[in-house]
């Protein structure tokens, strides 16, 4: 039976309902992960959970140790990963509270440690990243969203920015021209590191605010927190259905 790992983003620093059997403080060649890897039972299944930004939420997107996080999950026995991401909506369909299961990604980040293949190598390694998200996991997430009655899109392009600041109107306009449907700050290099470790990976994105220029109002943290509070219950139901399935 597949051992799933859940990476919780903003709004999901802990997984209510997880019966914890172990908190693993794992050492990795890349330093310490964001938080202990929690092993436990959720929806009747063994599951691993890692808070991407730490618990409490304290690590900004550009300082997350993505390599340590992915390495630790693999070392703990993860066989597939579902990543939960809070994002901004660019496409008109991506309103606040909408879910997206992206099928593609564009990386706008810089300066992040984005590969395991560097340093004193015996040979150069390239991984195929044509399709960054695992098709089977994406299908499972889409089916769970439909069963839960959640408004969602089964496809989308995730644009990953550096953060921690939000984007300018001009940057979002550029991203829209590039084809991006949603914008976040943590989707990369997480996805490619999972691919390098041969871990199937998919993203469950919850839209928590309109992107810059998509509303006349200022984007406030209070607005984002309200959307997170309203959406995380649905996220947990979707995750439970995926694991039970």
Counting Cα atoms < 13 Å in the Cβ hemisphere of 197 gives: 28
Asked if residue 125 belongs to a known ligand binding site, the reply is: no
First-last CA distance in the chain: 11
Helix (H) or strand (E) holding 40: strand 37-42
Q: Annotation-wise, does 52 bind a ligand?
A: yes
Nearest by Cα to 10 from 96, 110, 83, 82:
83
Residue 10 marked as a ligand binder: yes
Q: Is 114 annotated as a binding residue?
A: no
What's the CA gap between 35 and 56, in Å, rounded? 9
161 known member of a binding site? no
Distance CA 76, CA 3 (A): 10
Distance separating alpha carbons of residues 242 and 143, to the nearest angstrom:
8
Task: Determine whether the annotation assigns residue 91 to a binding site.
Answer: no
In order of 36, 60, 133, 164, the CA distances from 224 in angstroms are: 26, 16, 26, 14
Q: Helix, strand, coil % (nearest 5) of the chain?
A: 25, 25, 50
Q: Is 174 labelled as part of a ligand binding site?
A: no
Tell whether residue 186 is among the known ligand binding residues: yes
The neighbour count for residue 221, using CB atoms within 10 Å, is 9
Annotated binding site: 10, 52-53, 185-186, 209-211
Annotated binding site for substrate: 185, 209-211
Annotated binding site for phosphate: 10, 52-53, 186
């Amino acid at each position: 039976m597949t051992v799933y790992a859940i990476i919780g983003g903003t709004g999901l620093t802990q997984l209510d309902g997880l019966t914890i059997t172990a908190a693993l403080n794992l050492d990795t060649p890349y330093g310490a992960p964001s938080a202990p890897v929690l092993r436990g039972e959720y929806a009747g299944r063994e599951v691993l959970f890692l808070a991407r930004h730490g618990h409490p939420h304290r690590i900004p997107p550009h300082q997350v140790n993505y390599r340590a996080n992915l390495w630790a999950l693999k070392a703990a026995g993860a066989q597939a990963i579902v990543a939960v991401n809070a994002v901004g909506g660019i496409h008109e369909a991506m309103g606040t509270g909408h879910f997206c299961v992206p099928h593609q990604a564009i990386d706008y980040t810089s300066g992040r440690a984005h590969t395991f293949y560097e340093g004193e190598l015996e040979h150069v390694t390239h991984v195929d990243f044509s399709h960054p998200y695992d098709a089977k996991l994406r299908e499972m997430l889409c089916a769970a969203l439909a069963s839960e009655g959640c408004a969602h899109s089964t496809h989308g392009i995730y644009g990953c920015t550096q953060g921690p600041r939000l984007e300018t109107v001009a940057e979002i306009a550029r991203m829209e021209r590039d084809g991006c449907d949603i914008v976040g700050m943590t989707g990369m290099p997480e996805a490619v590191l999972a691919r390098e470790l041969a871990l199937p990976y998919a993203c469950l994105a919850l839209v928590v605010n309109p992107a810059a220029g998509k509303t006349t109002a200022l984007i406030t943290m209070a607005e984002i927190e309200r959307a997170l509070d309203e959406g995380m219950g649905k996220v947990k139901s979707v995750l439970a259905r995926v694991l039970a399935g």
